[in-house]
Amino acid sequence: MDLESIGRILLLAGAGIALLGGLLLIASRVPFFNQLFNMPGDINFAVGNVSCFFPIVTMIILSVILTVVVNVILRLINRQ
């Protein structure tokens, strides 16, 4: 790899990280996303200075939503 291709990769990675940061800033203003990680069924416990958080219900809900979205997109793309 030469320096030019490494520079392009770094610029694309930086733009991707900036885009992701912007999406997270926008998502933080949506009320649904603020409550997403405080759902009943998510396990959160603390012992002394150590705390652990297991978002089990949140991950199940996100998995179902993303599965539906991906299936709809794939059906629209493969429709002839």
Q: What is the pLDDT of residues 4-52, one digit of tens each?
A: 999 999 999 999 999 999 988 888 888 777 777 777 888 888 999 999 9
Q: Is the pLDDT of residue 80 over 70?
A: no
Confidence check: pLDDT of 70 > 90 = yes
Determine the average pLDDT of the residues in 61-80.
Answer: 90
Structural domain boundaries of the chain?
1-36, 39-80
The pLDDT assigned to 28 comes to 80
Q: Which helix (H) or strand (E) holds 62?
A: helix 56-78
Cα angle 29, 30, 31; round to 5: 110
